[in-house]
Amino acid sequence: MITSLFTLSVLDGTGKWLMAIGLPLLVLCWIRYSVHSLLVLAIILPKNGVKALHTAKPITQILRGTIMLASTLCFFTTLRYLPQAEATAINFIAPLIVLAIAPYLLKEKTQMARWIAAIIGFMGILLIIRPSAGLNMTGVFFGLFNAVLFSIQFIVTRRLASENPMTTLVWSGLCGTLMLCAYTLFNFDYVLHALGQLTTWQWLLLISTGISGGLGHLLQIQAYRYAPASMLAPFTYMQIISATALGWIVWRQFPDMLTWLGIAIICASGVGIALKELRQQGRMAKPRAE
């Protein structure tokens, strides 16, 4: 999980750098999704064959792929306007949104602790996006909107719990690739011109976004094969560390103390509720004495 989060942070940082040199967002995402899909298919098909493409819920898979693409576009737009650490931190309100609304959309039992964690996490977000932080409000809007999209994506993913995770990974990548290919066909000259401006080094970085994206998701699937989601949840907040490190190395951007306080509050609320639910699952799984 830790390797996956670092890999995805590299994807975010590379995408931010490529947009900063003028690469259009949709062109970036087209290459990122295309390479991602080719990589995943090359790894999965030899082992699982075409059965990896079979799904009992094609409509739900397409819905998840569409939401995932929208979330990708939204997050890269956020990175265009905000430092990587702040953009990543805002995105981490998404798991807390899911905890709060799960009882209504997933018919799970309402727990006051989840609502408390969500409220505390939102307070952390308010510290990060406070007016005195000097953040671009366009970036803040896209960051918050992406958190909502990411929450919806998570809920739709829960609807696909019965599906093979590899199947979901393939469908998500192919849906995004096909949608972006349609855009490319209608804007071929524009896309060709944008790609023609890139140097060899920039092309390598562009291709690497698909590799880091595909590997990041594959590593996450492996993580969930070996450990329950509730145990892995606290580790996901380590992505803020890798995002901050890359933001400082590449852009010399480092959060101020109040922003760090907001990040700490978000992490504490998320880790706290994850550990509470992990203990609760442990008590439920513990056999009763005869």
| pLDDT tens digit at each of 290 positions of the chain | 889 999 999 999 999 999 999 999 999 999 999 999 999 899 888 887 888 888 999 999 999 999 999 999 999 999 999 999 999 999 888 877 777 776 676 666 667 777 788 788 888 888 998 888 889 999 999 999 999 998 888 888 878 878 888 888 889 889 999 999 999 999 999 999 999 999 999 999 999 999 999 898 888 888 877 877 667 777 888 888 889 888 898 888 888 899 989 888 988 887 887 777 777 766 655 544 44
Q: Which residues contact 17 (CB under 8 A, 6 or more apart)?
A: 205, 250
Residue-level pLDDT at 285: 53
**Six-digit token pair at 154?**
């998570």
In terms of phi and psi (left: phi > 0; alpha: psi -120 to 50; beta: otherwise), the region of 55 is beta
What is the reported pLDDT for 17? Answer: 96
The count of other CB atoms within 10 Å of the CB of residue 66 is 16
- Specify the residue for token string 């995770």: 165
Query: Residue 82 has what DSSP assignment?
Result: S
At residue 288, the pLDDT reads 42
First-to-last alpha carbon distance for the chain, in angstroms, is 38
pLDDT at position 81 is: 95
| Rg, C-alpha atoms of the chain | 19
**Confidence (pLDDT) at 289:** 43
Q: Do 268 and 234 touch, CB atoms closer than 8 A?
A: no
Q: From the CB of residue 218, how many other CB atoms can be counted at a distance below 10 Å?
A: 20
Instruction: At 131, list the tokens.
Output: 């007016």
Distance CA 214, CA 230 (A): 23
* Residue with the two structure tokens 């998404």: 94
CA 282/CA 229 separation, integer angstroms:
13
Instruction: Choose among 173, 269, 182: nearest CA to 216.
Output: 173
Q: Distance between CA atoms of 181 and 167, rounded to whole angstroms? A: 21
- Contact criterion met (CB below 8 Å) for 76 and 19: yes
Instruction: Please state the φ and ψ torsions of residue 134, each to the nearest 5 degrees.
Output: 75, 20
Q: How far apart are CA 31 and CA 33, in angstroms?
A: 6
In the block, residue with structure tokens 């997933």: 106
Amino acid found at 55: T
Taking phi over 0 as left and psi of -120 to 50 as alpha, with beta for the rest, 15 belongs to alpha
